[in-house]
Structure 1
């Protein structure tokens, strides 16, 4: 597969909401979840600085709350946040329209849940003719559901990469990477990402 072109990418942040996993959900690995949130916040901040459009979804926000503060706080001014009622982003007309309005054909997906909303979104976007890339260390489902979701994507030929790989695809050169870091000294690299 070719490298991810920043000028053809749109970032889709799926359902990373305050109350999606309430505290009583004992099956949630809170450390892994928190690290995923930090990676998504970092990717979102990078997208902002590299002028990659961002579309954010919130599944049933009246029940599941809004996008977590760590991500909300770094959203680009032009980011679009929309409620989601169908699991696949493409099956929500307002979200599909926001994705189309970006003018981009490569959809970079992050968020929850890997085996349902991320998988459904990836599959529907792929079938709609988009290039779909799932950032596998910036997605989450509890326990074995995460790996099951990734295996399903693999079986359909949907691309996966890591947060680190996405960053380097977007910047492409040592000079550009160094310039990015120099221009953004306060942007802390998240856990598990070795640049």
Structure 2
């Protein structure tokens, strides 16, 4: 019987259907106590490659997820590609860096897969160990390169990875290919609204978070807030 249970557990682990292997299964609701946010390369030079109509709304979506993460006290890590002195790129977008918790370091990322850079890998693992984190939410740029490679790198290390599909982007037509690559690798795909409701879970928390993030943000000139089952305090 013990052997049968072991075989069953290993089988379920292999398909991501259980957390018996130490990380949350892909279908489980997000648990704020076990989750961290990673903001990847949200820099103006990458934003400038996107269609003009997409840029502001993407920044607002990323900002929204960051605000919710802060309100729910999730650890936040941030990277910017090759931005340090002498680097070729600008720093993190100022409206987003302003949302980082005080003292948060923006890691100077020189690889596509953030988990492949030793100092960033150490920071990720330190957050996981200190806070009991086994799940990382990813937002930022670019979907098919740094986001996808970082997602696969984190997943290979045993973490559950959740990518917010409307808070990541890449120049067309490559977004869909990046999303498919991650989905096929077992990465959980969701949207900003889904992340919000999975983290807050109940009406009292919705009300508290809405107060802390300043109400219901609106994305795009003609966009209205997305209404949810409990309130309209989401994008």
- The normalised TM-score by structure 1 is 0.91
How far apart are 1:60 and its partner, in Å?
0.9
| Deviation per residue, 1:61-118 (Å, 9 max, x gap) | 1211100011011111142311001100100111111111212110100000000100
Aligned counterparts of 2:213 and 2:144: Cα–Cα separation in 1 = 35
Counterpart for residue 150 of structure 1: 179
| Structure 1 unaligned regions, length at least 5 | none
- Map 1:55-134; keep pairs closer than 5 Å: 55-61=77-83, 62-103=87-128, 104-134=133-163
Aligned counterparts of 1:56 and 1:83: Cα–Cα separation in 2 = 9
8 A contact 1:39–1:190 mirrored in 2: no
Q: Cα distance 1:190–1:88, how it changes in 2: closer, same or farther (>3 A)?
A: farther
* Structure of greater relative contact order (alpha carbons < 8 Å, 6+ residues apart): 1
How far apart are 1:147 and its partner, in Å?
0.8
8 A contact 1:110–1:134 mirrored in 2: yes
Give the length in aligned residue pairs: 190
Residue of structure 1 aligned with 2:42, choices 13, 16, 19:
16
8 A contact 2:134–2:160 mirrored in 1: yes
8 A contact 2:47–2:55 mirrored in 1: no
Moved more, 74-83 or 183-192: 183-192
Counterpart for residue 189 of structure 1: 217
Dislocated runs of 4+, deviation >3 Å: none
| Structure 2 unaligned regions, length at least 5 | 1-26, 227-233
Query: Who wins on radius of gyration, i.e. which is larger?
Result: 2
